[in-house]
Chain A
Amino acid sequence: MKKTFPLAAVLIALFAASFFIVPLVATFYFSLKMTRGELGFAAYASVFNSADFLTTISYSTVASLIAIAVGAVIIVPTAYWVRLKVPHLRPVVEFISLLPLIVPPVVLVFGYIRLFGSNSYLPLTTTTAGTDVLLVLGYVVLSMPYMFRAVDNGMAAIDIATLTEAAESLGASRLRTIAFVIFPNVRAAIIAGAFLTFSISLGEFVLASLLNRPAFGPYLVQLGQDRAYEPAALAIMSFAFTWGCMALMQLFATRKPGQRWLPRLMTPAKRTTP
Protein backbone atom coordinates (compact mmCIF):
# COMPACT_ATOMS: atom_id res chain seq x y z
CA MET A 1 0.00 0.00 0.00
CA LYS A 2 2.82 2.36 0.84
CA LYS A 3 4.59 1.72 -2.46
CA THR A 4 1.77 2.83 -4.72
CA PHE A 5 0.72 6.45 -5.18
CA PRO A 6 -2.15 7.11 -2.72
CA LEU A 7 -4.59 8.07 -5.46
CA ALA A 8 -7.81 7.61 -3.48
CA ALA A 9 -6.45 9.62 -0.56
CA VAL A 10 -5.33 12.44 -2.85
CA LEU A 11 -8.71 12.53 -4.57
CA ILE A 12 -10.60 12.63 -1.27
CA ALA A 13 -8.33 15.37 0.08
CA LEU A 14 -8.70 17.42 -3.11
CA PHE A 15 -12.47 17.00 -3.11
CA ALA A 16 -12.74 18.05 0.54
CA ALA A 17 -10.40 20.98 -0.01
CA SER A 18 -12.49 22.23 -2.91
CA PHE A 19 -15.69 21.85 -0.87
CA PHE A 20 -14.08 24.07 1.75
CA ILE A 21 -12.49 26.60 -0.55
CA VAL A 22 -14.96 27.03 -3.41
CA PRO A 23 -17.67 28.70 -1.29
CA LEU A 24 -15.09 31.15 0.05
CA VAL A 25 -13.72 32.00 -3.37
CA ALA A 26 -17.19 32.26 -4.84
CA THR A 27 -18.41 34.47 -2.02
CA PHE A 28 -15.38 36.70 -2.32
CA TYR A 29 -15.80 37.00 -6.07
CA PHE A 30 -19.51 37.65 -5.64
CA SER A 31 -18.78 40.40 -3.11
CA LEU A 32 -16.59 42.20 -5.68
CA LYS A 33 -19.31 42.42 -8.31
CA MET A 34 -21.46 45.13 -6.73
CA THR A 35 -20.65 47.69 -9.39
CA ARG A 36 -21.98 46.34 -12.67
CA GLY A 37 -19.35 45.35 -15.19
CA GLU A 38 -16.30 45.71 -12.98
CA LEU A 39 -14.73 44.14 -9.93
CA GLY A 40 -14.20 46.33 -6.92
CA PHE A 41 -14.61 46.78 -3.23
CA ALA A 42 -17.82 48.81 -3.49
CA ALA A 43 -19.73 46.35 -1.29
CA TYR A 44 -17.10 46.64 1.41
CA ALA A 45 -17.15 50.43 1.20
CA SER A 46 -20.93 50.37 1.43
CA VAL A 47 -20.74 48.20 4.57
CA PHE A 48 -18.22 50.45 6.28
CA ASN A 49 -20.13 53.57 5.36
CA SER A 50 -23.30 52.28 6.93
CA ALA A 51 -24.07 53.85 10.29
CA ASP A 52 -26.01 50.75 11.37
CA PHE A 53 -22.98 48.58 10.76
CA LEU A 54 -20.80 50.77 12.91
CA THR A 55 -23.26 51.06 15.79
CA THR A 56 -24.16 47.36 15.86
CA ILE A 57 -20.59 46.14 15.56
CA SER A 58 -19.46 48.50 18.33
CA TYR A 59 -22.32 47.36 20.52
CA SER A 60 -21.45 43.68 19.97
CA THR A 61 -17.73 44.30 20.46
CA VAL A 62 -18.33 45.98 23.81
CA ALA A 63 -20.79 43.27 24.90
CA SER A 64 -18.30 40.53 23.92
CA LEU A 65 -15.40 42.20 25.71
CA ILE A 66 -17.39 42.60 28.91
CA ALA A 67 -18.52 38.97 28.61
CA ILE A 68 -14.88 37.89 28.33
CA ALA A 69 -13.89 39.91 31.41
CA VAL A 70 -16.83 38.64 33.48
CA GLY A 71 -16.20 35.08 32.29
CA ALA A 72 -12.54 35.25 33.29
CA VAL A 73 -13.40 36.67 36.72
CA ILE A 74 -15.87 33.83 37.34
CA ILE A 75 -13.97 30.94 35.75
CA VAL A 76 -10.35 31.55 36.81
CA PRO A 77 -10.88 31.59 40.61
CA THR A 78 -13.25 28.62 40.28
CA ALA A 79 -10.84 26.51 38.24
CA TYR A 80 -8.06 27.49 40.66
CA TRP A 81 -10.07 26.61 43.71
CA VAL A 82 -11.27 23.32 42.27
CA ARG A 83 -7.73 22.25 41.52
CA LEU A 84 -6.30 23.42 44.81
CA LYS A 85 -8.89 22.85 47.51
CA VAL A 86 -12.00 21.03 46.37
CA PRO A 87 -10.92 18.48 43.74
CA HIS A 88 -13.87 16.26 44.64
CA LEU A 89 -16.21 18.97 43.26
CA ARG A 90 -14.46 18.81 39.90
CA PRO A 91 -17.00 16.47 38.24
CA VAL A 92 -19.87 18.77 39.26
CA VAL A 93 -18.12 21.94 38.10
CA GLU A 94 -17.07 20.28 34.86
CA PHE A 95 -20.60 19.03 34.28
CA ILE A 96 -22.07 22.49 34.81
CA SER A 97 -19.47 24.09 32.57
CA LEU A 98 -20.47 21.68 29.79
CA LEU A 99 -24.21 22.24 30.25
CA PRO A 100 -24.36 25.14 27.75
CA LEU A 101 -23.52 22.63 25.03
CA ILE A 102 -26.73 20.77 25.90
CA VAL A 103 -28.96 23.78 26.43
CA PRO A 104 -29.54 25.48 23.06
CA PRO A 105 -29.27 29.29 23.14
CA VAL A 106 -32.92 29.64 22.16
CA VAL A 107 -33.94 27.65 25.26
CA LEU A 108 -31.59 29.62 27.48
CA VAL A 109 -32.91 32.97 26.36
CA PHE A 110 -36.50 31.74 26.66
CA GLY A 111 -35.71 30.93 30.27
CA TYR A 112 -34.21 34.39 30.77
CA ILE A 113 -37.23 36.15 29.33
CA ARG A 114 -39.58 34.20 31.57
CA LEU A 115 -37.48 34.11 34.72
CA PHE A 116 -36.37 37.73 34.61
CA GLY A 117 -39.60 39.10 33.16
CA SER A 118 -41.67 41.95 34.52
CA ASN A 119 -43.25 40.00 37.39
CA SER A 120 -40.13 38.32 38.74
CA TYR A 121 -37.94 39.14 41.74
CA LEU A 122 -35.18 40.31 39.42
CA PRO A 123 -36.99 42.07 36.53
CA LEU A 124 -33.95 42.55 34.32
CA THR A 125 -35.81 42.56 31.02
CA THR A 126 -37.86 45.64 31.90
CA THR A 127 -34.94 48.07 31.56
CA THR A 128 -32.44 48.55 28.75
CA ALA A 129 -29.50 48.26 31.10
CA GLY A 130 -30.96 45.11 32.60
CA THR A 131 -31.38 43.52 29.18
CA ASP A 132 -27.80 44.44 28.32
CA VAL A 133 -26.69 42.70 31.51
CA LEU A 134 -28.71 39.61 30.57
CA LEU A 135 -27.18 39.56 27.08
CA VAL A 136 -23.65 39.78 28.45
CA LEU A 137 -24.29 37.12 31.10
CA GLY A 138 -25.83 34.94 28.40
CA TYR A 139 -22.60 35.24 26.39
CA VAL A 140 -20.65 34.32 29.51
CA VAL A 141 -22.79 31.18 29.80
CA LEU A 142 -22.42 30.30 26.11
CA SER A 143 -18.65 30.62 26.29
CA MET A 144 -18.31 28.78 29.62
CA PRO A 145 -17.46 25.34 28.14
CA TYR A 146 -14.59 26.79 26.09
CA MET A 147 -13.39 29.23 28.72
CA PHE A 148 -13.36 26.63 31.47
CA ARG A 149 -11.48 24.10 29.37
CA ALA A 150 -8.91 26.66 28.22
CA VAL A 151 -8.28 27.96 31.73
CA ASP A 152 -8.25 24.48 33.26
CA ASN A 153 -5.70 23.31 30.70
CA GLY A 154 -3.66 26.41 31.45
CA MET A 155 -3.70 25.57 35.15
CA ALA A 156 -2.70 21.98 34.46
CA ALA A 157 0.46 23.29 32.82
CA ILE A 158 1.64 25.23 35.88
CA ASP A 159 2.23 23.96 39.39
CA ILE A 160 -0.42 25.99 41.17
CA ALA A 161 0.10 24.28 44.53
CA THR A 162 3.76 25.32 44.68
CA LEU A 163 2.99 28.79 43.33
CA THR A 164 0.32 29.25 45.98
CA GLU A 165 2.57 28.04 48.77
CA ALA A 166 5.33 30.35 47.58
CA ALA A 167 2.96 33.30 47.46
CA GLU A 168 1.60 32.45 50.90
CA SER A 169 5.02 32.13 52.49
CA LEU A 170 5.77 35.57 51.14
CA GLY A 171 2.69 36.78 52.94
CA ALA A 172 0.28 37.25 50.06
CA SER A 173 -3.42 37.05 50.80
CA ARG A 174 -5.68 34.69 48.90
CA LEU A 175 -7.02 37.41 46.61
CA ARG A 176 -3.55 38.77 46.00
CA THR A 177 -2.32 35.29 45.10
CA ILE A 178 -5.07 34.87 42.54
CA ALA A 179 -4.73 38.37 41.09
CA PHE A 180 -0.95 38.65 40.93
CA VAL A 181 0.33 35.07 40.72
CA ILE A 182 -2.29 32.79 39.22
CA PHE A 183 -3.90 35.23 36.78
CA PRO A 184 -0.65 36.28 35.05
CA ASN A 185 0.44 32.65 34.77
CA VAL A 186 -2.73 31.54 33.01
CA ARG A 187 -3.04 34.75 31.02
CA ALA A 188 -2.25 32.99 27.77
CA ALA A 189 -4.97 30.42 28.47
CA ILE A 190 -7.46 33.15 29.31
CA ILE A 191 -6.63 34.99 26.11
CA ALA A 192 -7.02 31.76 24.14
CA GLY A 193 -10.48 31.29 25.65
CA ALA A 194 -11.21 34.96 25.08
CA PHE A 195 -10.66 34.78 21.34
CA LEU A 196 -13.02 31.83 21.08
CA THR A 197 -15.60 33.69 23.16
CA PHE A 198 -15.16 36.72 20.94
CA SER A 199 -15.70 34.76 17.74
CA ILE A 200 -18.84 33.15 19.22
CA SER A 201 -20.49 36.24 20.61
CA LEU A 202 -19.64 38.92 18.06
CA GLY A 203 -22.09 37.70 15.41
CA GLU A 204 -24.41 35.92 17.84
CA PHE A 205 -28.00 36.12 16.62
CA VAL A 206 -30.46 34.27 18.85
CA LEU A 207 -29.90 35.92 22.22
CA ALA A 208 -29.48 39.39 20.78
CA SER A 209 -32.56 39.08 18.61
CA LEU A 210 -34.88 37.71 21.30
CA LEU A 211 -33.63 40.16 23.90
CA ASN A 212 -34.18 42.85 21.28
CA ARG A 213 -30.72 44.38 21.50
CA PRO A 214 -29.14 46.36 18.60
CA ALA A 215 -26.37 43.80 18.12
CA PHE A 216 -24.46 42.71 15.04
CA GLY A 217 -26.18 39.33 14.55
CA PRO A 218 -29.72 40.68 14.01
CA TYR A 219 -28.28 43.41 11.78
CA LEU A 220 -26.66 40.72 9.63
CA VAL A 221 -29.93 38.84 9.22
CA GLN A 222 -31.78 42.03 8.32
CA LEU A 223 -29.08 42.93 5.79
CA GLY A 224 -29.34 39.46 4.27
CA GLN A 225 -32.98 40.11 3.56
CA ASP A 226 -32.46 43.58 2.11
CA ARG A 227 -29.24 43.41 0.12
CA ALA A 228 -27.33 41.07 -2.19
CA TYR A 229 -23.66 42.02 -2.27
CA GLU A 230 -23.05 43.43 1.22
CA PRO A 231 -23.92 40.11 2.90
CA ALA A 232 -21.26 38.40 0.78
CA ALA A 233 -18.72 41.03 1.79
CA LEU A 234 -19.68 40.58 5.44
CA ALA A 235 -19.45 36.79 5.13
CA ILE A 236 -15.89 37.14 3.85
CA MET A 237 -15.00 39.58 6.58
CA SER A 238 -16.46 37.39 9.29
CA PHE A 239 -14.62 34.37 7.93
CA ALA A 240 -11.40 36.34 8.06
CA PHE A 241 -12.35 37.45 11.56
CA THR A 242 -13.04 33.88 12.71
CA TRP A 243 -9.74 32.83 11.15
CA GLY A 244 -7.91 35.59 13.01
CA CYS A 245 -9.53 34.67 16.32
CA MET A 246 -8.68 30.99 15.88
CA ALA A 247 -5.11 31.72 14.84
CA LEU A 248 -4.57 33.97 17.85
CA MET A 249 -6.25 31.38 20.06
CA GLN A 250 -3.92 28.64 18.82
CA LEU A 251 -0.97 30.92 19.33
CA PHE A 252 -1.88 31.62 22.94
CA ALA A 253 -3.12 28.12 23.74
CA THR A 254 0.16 26.49 22.74
CA ARG A 255 2.26 29.11 24.43
CA LYS A 256 4.10 27.97 27.53
CA PRO A 257 3.50 29.88 30.74
CA GLY A 258 6.28 32.30 31.43
CA GLN A 259 7.29 32.45 27.80
CA ARG A 260 7.09 36.10 27.03
CA TRP A 261 6.86 38.11 23.88
CA LEU A 262 4.34 40.68 24.93
CA PRO A 263 5.24 43.40 27.41
CA ARG A 264 4.04 42.48 30.86
CA LEU A 265 1.11 44.45 32.14
CA MET A 266 1.83 43.79 35.77
CA THR A 267 4.85 43.22 37.93
CA PRO A 268 6.75 40.10 36.90
CA ALA A 269 5.10 37.05 38.39
CA LYS A 270 6.72 33.94 39.71
CA ARG A 271 7.94 31.69 36.97
CA THR A 272 7.85 27.96 37.03
CA THR A 273 10.44 25.75 35.50
CA PRO A 274 8.63 22.54 34.77
Chain B
Amino acid sequence: MTLDAAASRTEMRAPRPKAMQRPALDWNWLGVAPFFLFAFLFLIGPVLYLVAGAFQNADGDFTFANILELGSPNIVASFSLTIRLSVLSALMGAVAGLLLGQAVILGGLPGWVRNAFTTFSGVASNFAGVPLAFAFIATLGRLGLVTVLLRDLFGINIYGMGFNLFSFFGVSVVYLYFQLPLMFLIIAPALDGLKTEWREAAEILGASRRQYWQMIGLPVLFPTILGCFLLLFANAFGTLATVYALMGSGFDVVPIVLFQQIRGNVLYNPNLGYALALGMVVIMGVSNTLYLILRNRAERWQK
Protein backbone atom coordinates (compact mmCIF):
# COMPACT_ATOMS: atom_id res chain seq x y z
CA MET B 1 0.00 0.00 0.00
CA THR B 2 1.16 3.56 -0.56
CA LEU B 3 0.81 4.45 3.09
CA ASP B 4 4.05 2.84 4.21
CA ALA B 5 6.01 4.16 1.26
CA ALA B 6 4.75 7.65 2.03
CA ALA B 7 5.56 7.23 5.68
CA SER B 8 9.11 6.10 5.05
CA ARG B 9 9.55 8.94 2.57
CA THR B 10 8.51 11.58 5.10
CA GLU B 11 10.77 9.82 7.53
CA MET B 12 13.76 10.22 5.21
CA ARG B 13 12.97 13.80 4.34
CA ALA B 14 12.31 15.16 7.79
CA PRO B 15 14.13 13.37 10.59
CA ARG B 16 12.72 14.16 13.99
CA PRO B 17 14.90 16.47 16.05
CA LYS B 18 16.50 14.41 18.80
CA ALA B 19 18.06 15.47 22.04
CA MET B 20 21.43 14.69 20.54
CA GLN B 21 22.42 16.33 17.28
CA ARG B 22 21.98 13.81 14.51
CA PRO B 23 23.27 13.77 10.95
CA ALA B 24 20.90 15.16 8.35
CA LEU B 25 19.78 11.74 7.10
CA ASP B 26 17.94 9.44 9.48
CA TRP B 27 18.45 5.78 8.65
CA ASN B 28 16.32 4.45 11.49
CA TRP B 29 13.54 3.45 9.12
CA LEU B 30 15.91 0.78 7.77
CA GLY B 31 15.30 -1.23 10.93
CA VAL B 32 11.72 -1.85 9.93
CA ALA B 33 12.56 -2.34 6.24
CA PRO B 34 12.55 -6.18 6.46
CA PHE B 35 9.02 -6.08 7.87
CA PHE B 36 7.82 -3.73 5.13
CA LEU B 37 9.55 -5.81 2.48
CA PHE B 38 7.93 -9.00 3.77
CA ALA B 39 4.51 -7.36 4.07
CA PHE B 40 4.80 -5.90 0.62
CA LEU B 41 5.85 -9.16 -1.03
CA PHE B 42 3.50 -11.55 0.72
CA LEU B 43 0.53 -9.50 1.86
CA ILE B 44 0.09 -6.16 0.14
CA GLY B 45 1.57 -7.08 -3.21
CA PRO B 46 -0.63 -10.10 -3.87
CA VAL B 47 -3.74 -8.16 -2.87
CA LEU B 48 -2.78 -5.17 -5.03
CA TYR B 49 -2.15 -7.55 -7.92
CA LEU B 50 -5.70 -8.88 -7.58
CA VAL B 51 -7.12 -5.36 -7.24
CA ALA B 52 -5.30 -4.25 -10.38
CA GLY B 53 -6.42 -7.41 -12.16
CA ALA B 54 -10.02 -6.66 -11.29
CA PHE B 55 -9.80 -3.62 -13.56
CA GLN B 56 -8.10 -5.38 -16.48
CA ASN B 57 -9.26 -7.67 -19.22
CA ALA B 58 -7.40 -10.80 -20.33
CA ASP B 59 -5.04 -8.67 -22.48
CA GLY B 60 -4.18 -6.38 -19.59
CA ASP B 61 -6.19 -3.38 -20.82
CA PHE B 62 -8.12 -1.24 -18.38
CA THR B 63 -11.78 -2.14 -18.11
CA PHE B 64 -14.75 -1.98 -15.78
CA ALA B 65 -16.22 -5.13 -17.36
CA ASN B 66 -15.25 -7.41 -14.45
CA ILE B 67 -16.77 -5.08 -11.89
CA LEU B 68 -19.92 -4.85 -13.99
CA GLU B 69 -19.97 -8.62 -14.28
CA LEU B 70 -20.28 -8.78 -10.50
CA GLY B 71 -23.84 -7.66 -11.23
CA SER B 72 -24.63 -10.89 -13.07
CA PRO B 73 -27.41 -12.88 -11.41
CA ASN B 74 -25.40 -15.82 -10.04
CA ILE B 75 -22.72 -13.59 -8.52
CA VAL B 76 -25.32 -11.28 -7.00
CA ALA B 77 -27.11 -14.34 -5.64
CA SER B 78 -23.91 -15.60 -4.07
CA PHE B 79 -23.06 -12.24 -2.47
CA SER B 80 -26.63 -11.98 -1.25
CA LEU B 81 -26.49 -15.49 0.25
CA THR B 82 -23.20 -14.73 2.00
CA ILE B 83 -24.40 -11.39 3.33
CA ARG B 84 -27.70 -12.83 4.58
CA LEU B 85 -25.89 -15.73 6.23
CA SER B 86 -23.34 -13.41 7.84
CA VAL B 87 -26.03 -10.98 9.03
CA LEU B 88 -28.11 -13.78 10.54
CA SER B 89 -25.15 -15.43 12.26
CA ALA B 90 -23.81 -12.07 13.48
CA LEU B 91 -27.27 -11.13 14.81
CA MET B 92 -27.62 -14.45 16.61
CA GLY B 93 -24.10 -14.17 17.97
CA ALA B 94 -24.52 -10.56 19.06
CA VAL B 95 -27.86 -11.08 20.81
CA ALA B 96 -26.82 -14.34 22.47
CA GLY B 97 -23.41 -12.96 23.46
CA LEU B 98 -24.95 -9.83 24.90
CA LEU B 99 -27.50 -11.84 26.88
CA LEU B 100 -24.81 -14.17 28.16
CA GLY B 101 -22.50 -11.29 29.03
CA GLN B 102 -25.27 -9.45 30.80
CA ALA B 103 -26.23 -12.58 32.75
CA VAL B 104 -22.73 -13.68 33.67
CA ILE B 105 -21.09 -10.31 34.29
CA LEU B 106 -23.90 -8.16 35.68
CA GLY B 107 -26.44 -10.78 36.73
CA GLY B 108 -25.04 -11.46 40.18
CA LEU B 109 -23.53 -14.86 39.43
CA PRO B 110 -20.38 -15.93 41.29
CA GLY B 111 -17.05 -14.93 39.80
CA TRP B 112 -15.95 -18.42 38.82
CA VAL B 113 -18.84 -18.63 36.34
CA ARG B 114 -17.49 -15.65 34.47
CA ASN B 115 -13.96 -17.05 34.56
CA ALA B 116 -15.15 -20.38 33.23
CA PHE B 117 -17.04 -18.73 30.37
CA THR B 118 -14.11 -16.45 29.56
CA THR B 119 -11.66 -19.35 29.40
CA PHE B 120 -14.02 -21.49 27.38
CA SER B 121 -14.79 -18.61 25.01
CA GLY B 122 -11.10 -18.11 24.31
CA VAL B 123 -10.94 -21.69 23.15
CA ALA B 124 -14.30 -21.89 21.38
CA SER B 125 -13.79 -18.67 19.40
CA ASN B 126 -10.70 -20.33 17.96
CA PHE B 127 -12.35 -23.71 17.44
CA ALA B 128 -13.55 -23.05 13.91
CA GLY B 129 -12.88 -24.82 10.67
CA VAL B 130 -13.25 -28.42 9.67
CA PRO B 131 -13.39 -30.05 13.16
CA LEU B 132 -16.26 -27.76 14.18
CA ALA B 133 -18.28 -28.96 11.21
CA PHE B 134 -17.52 -32.57 12.21
CA ALA B 135 -18.65 -31.93 15.77
CA PHE B 136 -21.99 -30.56 14.64
CA ILE B 137 -22.53 -33.36 12.15
CA ALA B 138 -21.99 -35.84 15.00
CA THR B 139 -24.40 -33.83 17.16
CA LEU B 140 -27.18 -32.46 14.98
CA GLY B 141 -26.68 -34.31 11.71
CA ARG B 142 -29.29 -36.76 10.51
CA LEU B 143 -27.72 -39.49 12.62
CA GLY B 144 -26.22 -37.12 15.14
CA LEU B 145 -26.45 -38.02 18.78
CA VAL B 146 -28.83 -35.24 19.83
CA THR B 147 -31.04 -35.82 16.81
CA VAL B 148 -31.31 -39.53 17.60
CA LEU B 149 -31.78 -38.99 21.35
CA LEU B 150 -34.55 -36.46 20.82
CA ARG B 151 -36.25 -38.83 18.41
CA ASP B 152 -35.92 -42.03 20.47
CA LEU B 153 -36.39 -40.64 23.98
CA PHE B 154 -38.76 -37.74 23.50
CA GLY B 155 -40.36 -38.55 20.17
CA ILE B 156 -39.22 -35.21 18.77
CA ASN B 157 -38.08 -35.55 15.20
CA ILE B 158 -36.29 -32.27 14.58
CA TYR B 159 -35.73 -33.09 10.92
CA GLY B 160 -39.43 -33.79 10.63
CA MET B 161 -40.07 -30.37 12.15
CA GLY B 162 -38.10 -28.66 9.40
CA PHE B 163 -34.68 -28.40 10.98
CA ASN B 164 -31.79 -29.29 8.76
CA LEU B 165 -28.15 -28.90 9.74
CA PHE B 166 -27.18 -28.76 6.08
CA SER B 167 -29.21 -25.65 5.38
CA PHE B 168 -28.93 -21.89 5.63
CA PHE B 169 -30.19 -21.91 9.21
CA GLY B 170 -28.13 -24.97 10.12
CA VAL B 171 -24.92 -23.27 9.01
CA SER B 172 -25.71 -20.21 11.11
CA VAL B 173 -26.24 -22.45 14.17
CA VAL B 174 -22.79 -23.93 13.57
CA TYR B 175 -21.31 -20.43 13.19
CA LEU B 176 -22.92 -19.51 16.50
CA TYR B 177 -20.45 -21.84 18.18
CA PHE B 178 -17.62 -19.40 17.48
CA GLN B 179 -19.65 -16.19 17.13
CA LEU B 180 -21.23 -16.35 20.58
CA PRO B 181 -17.92 -16.74 22.46
CA LEU B 182 -16.31 -14.02 20.33
CA MET B 183 -19.16 -11.64 21.15
CA PHE B 184 -18.91 -12.53 24.83
CA LEU B 185 -15.19 -11.76 24.83
CA ILE B 186 -15.38 -8.43 23.03
CA ILE B 187 -18.48 -7.12 24.81
CA ALA B 188 -17.17 -7.95 28.30
CA PRO B 189 -15.00 -4.81 28.69
CA ALA B 190 -17.93 -2.62 27.67
CA LEU B 191 -20.21 -4.32 30.21
CA ASP B 192 -17.55 -3.79 32.85
CA GLY B 193 -17.49 -0.14 31.81
CA LEU B 194 -21.14 0.38 32.76
CA LYS B 195 -20.61 2.27 35.98
CA THR B 196 -22.54 1.11 39.01
CA GLU B 197 -23.16 4.79 39.83
CA TRP B 198 -25.36 5.09 36.75
CA ARG B 199 -27.47 2.17 37.84
CA GLU B 200 -27.68 3.47 41.39
CA ALA B 201 -28.58 6.96 40.19
CA ALA B 202 -31.29 5.52 37.96
CA GLU B 203 -32.64 3.38 40.80
CA ILE B 204 -32.73 6.36 43.18
CA LEU B 205 -34.67 8.31 40.58
CA GLY B 206 -37.15 5.46 40.52
CA ALA B 207 -36.22 3.75 37.26
CA SER B 208 -37.17 0.13 36.80
CA ARG B 209 -34.62 -2.39 35.55
CA ARG B 210 -36.18 -2.25 32.14
CA GLN B 211 -36.07 1.54 32.05
CA TYR B 212 -32.42 1.48 33.10
CA TRP B 213 -31.50 -0.77 30.19
CA GLN B 214 -33.71 1.01 27.70
CA MET B 215 -32.59 4.54 28.53
CA ILE B 216 -29.06 4.16 29.88
CA GLY B 217 -27.50 0.74 29.41
CA LEU B 218 -28.32 0.03 25.79
CA PRO B 219 -27.73 3.61 24.51
CA VAL B 220 -24.30 3.64 26.14
CA LEU B 221 -23.51 0.18 24.79
CA PHE B 222 -24.99 0.84 21.37
CA PRO B 223 -21.80 1.85 19.51
CA THR B 224 -20.01 -1.16 21.02
CA ILE B 225 -22.80 -3.54 20.11
CA LEU B 226 -22.93 -2.20 16.57
CA GLY B 227 -19.15 -2.48 16.28
CA CYS B 228 -19.15 -6.03 17.60
CA PHE B 229 -21.93 -6.92 15.20
CA LEU B 230 -19.79 -5.70 12.30
CA LEU B 231 -16.81 -7.70 13.54
CA LEU B 232 -18.95 -10.84 13.78
CA PHE B 233 -20.32 -10.09 10.33
CA ALA B 234 -16.83 -9.91 8.85
CA ASN B 235 -15.85 -13.01 10.80
CA ALA B 236 -18.71 -14.98 9.23
CA PHE B 237 -18.19 -13.46 5.80
CA GLY B 238 -14.63 -14.71 5.52
CA THR B 239 -15.37 -18.20 6.85
CA LEU B 240 -14.60 -20.91 4.34
CA ALA B 241 -13.32 -24.12 5.90
CA THR B 242 -16.27 -24.63 8.26
CA VAL B 243 -18.94 -24.15 5.64
CA TYR B 244 -16.98 -26.11 3.03
CA ALA B 245 -16.61 -29.12 5.33
CA LEU B 246 -20.29 -28.90 6.23
CA MET B 247 -21.94 -28.18 2.90
CA GLY B 248 -19.39 -29.21 0.29
CA SER B 249 -18.63 -27.16 -2.79
CA GLY B 250 -22.23 -26.71 -3.86
CA PHE B 251 -23.16 -24.07 -1.29
CA ASP B 252 -22.52 -20.83 -3.15
CA VAL B 253 -21.18 -18.46 -0.54
CA VAL B 254 -18.62 -16.06 -2.01
CA PRO B 255 -15.54 -17.71 -0.44
CA ILE B 256 -16.56 -21.10 -1.84
CA VAL B 257 -17.27 -19.62 -5.29
CA LEU B 258 -13.83 -18.03 -5.26
CA PHE B 259 -12.29 -21.28 -3.98
CA GLN B 260 -13.89 -23.20 -6.82
CA GLN B 261 -12.88 -20.55 -9.32
CA ILE B 262 -9.23 -20.80 -8.22
CA ARG B 263 -9.39 -24.57 -8.56
CA GLY B 264 -10.59 -24.00 -12.07
CA ASN B 265 -13.93 -25.72 -11.57
CA VAL B 266 -16.16 -22.82 -12.62
CA LEU B 267 -16.11 -19.48 -14.39
CA TYR B 268 -12.79 -19.82 -16.27
CA ASN B 269 -12.32 -16.08 -16.06
CA PRO B 270 -9.51 -15.12 -13.68
CA ASN B 271 -10.30 -11.43 -14.01
CA LEU B 272 -13.80 -12.05 -12.73
CA GLY B 273 -12.14 -13.96 -9.89
CA TYR B 274 -10.10 -10.84 -9.14
CA ALA B 275 -13.29 -8.82 -9.02
CA LEU B 276 -14.81 -11.36 -6.60
CA ALA B 277 -11.72 -11.09 -4.40
CA LEU B 278 -11.94 -7.30 -4.55
CA GLY B 279 -15.59 -7.47 -3.50
CA MET B 280 -14.69 -9.63 -0.50
CA VAL B 281 -11.83 -7.39 0.59
CA VAL B 282 -14.02 -4.28 0.27
CA ILE B 283 -16.80 -5.78 2.39
CA MET B 284 -14.39 -7.11 5.01
CA GLY B 285 -12.42 -3.86 4.99
CA VAL B 286 -15.46 -1.63 5.41
CA SER B 287 -16.96 -3.64 8.25
CA ASN B 288 -13.63 -3.96 10.09
CA THR B 289 -12.87 -0.25 9.68
CA LEU B 290 -16.31 0.70 10.99
CA TYR B 291 -15.71 -1.67 13.91
CA LEU B 292 -12.47 0.11 14.78
CA ILE B 293 -14.12 3.55 14.50
CA LEU B 294 -17.04 2.49 16.67
CA ARG B 295 -14.72 0.89 19.21
CA ASN B 296 -12.73 4.11 19.55
CA ARG B 297 -15.96 6.02 19.96
CA ALA B 298 -17.20 3.59 22.60
CA GLU B 299 -13.98 3.80 24.58
CA ARG B 300 -14.99 7.30 25.68
CA TRP B 301 -17.16 5.64 28.31
CA GLN B 302 -14.56 3.19 29.46
CA LYS B 303 -12.06 5.51 31.11
Contact = CB atoms under 8 A, between A and B. Distances in A.
Q: Is the interface of A mostly helix, strand, loop or mixed?
A: helix
Pick from A23, A78, A86, A235 the residue with the most CB of B within 10 Å.
A23
B267 interface: no
Interface stretch (B33-41, B68-76, B152-160, B186-194): B33-41
Contact of B130 (A75, A81, A102, A203): A203
Contact of A232 (B123, B134, B140): B134
B29 A30 contact: no
Interface in B87-121: 96, 99-100, 102-104, 107-109, 113, 117, 119-120
Contacts of B220: none
A105 B49 CA distance: 15
Q: Is the interface of B mostly helix, strand, loop or mixed?
A: helix
B144 A101 contact: no
Interface string B260-273: 00110000001001
Contact of B126 (A9, A101, A138, A242): A242
Contacts of B28: 81, 85-86
Interface residues of B, number: 84
Pick from B3, B138, B139, B255 the residue with the most CB of A within 10 Å.
B138
A27 B43 contact: no
Nearest to B261: A110
A92 interface: yes
Given A19-B180, A20-B124, A99 B44 contact: yes
B209 A1 contact: yes
Given A9-B104, A31-B138, A114-B270, A138 B42 contact: yes
B255 A205 contact: no
A263 interface: no
Nearest to B10: A88
A172 interface: no
A157 interface: no
B131 interface: yes
A213 B126 CA distance: 23
A16 B47 contact: no
Interface string A8-37: 111011001101101110110111000000
Interface in B136-153: 136-140, 144-146
A27 B241 CA distance: 19
Nearest to A174: B31
A30 B96 contact: no
Contacts of A200: 126
Contacts of B238: 104-106
Given A23-B135, A30-B145, A100-B43, A106 B35 contact: no
A242 B123 contact: yes
A240 B123 CA distance: 9
Interface residues of A, number: 83
B53 interface: yes
A243 B258 contact: no
B77 to A, nearest CB: 19
B263 to A, nearest CB: 7
A209 B123 CA distance: 25
Interface stretch (A47-55, A158-166, A216-224, A264-272): A216-224
Contact of B134 (A22, A102, A104, A234): A234
Given A92-B7, A217-B241, A239 B127 contact: yes
Interface of A: 1-2, 6, 8-10, 12-13, 16-17, 19-20, 22-24, 26-27, 29-31, 74-75, 77-78, 81-82, 85-86, 88-89, 92-93, 95-96, 98-115, 137-138, 140-141, 144, 196, 199-200, 203-206, 209-210, 217, 220-221, 224-225, 231-232, 234-236, 238-239, 242-243, 245-246, 250
9 contacts: A6-B109, A89-B29, A89-B32, A99-B39, A106-B280, A114-B53, A221-B244, A231-B137, A235-B138
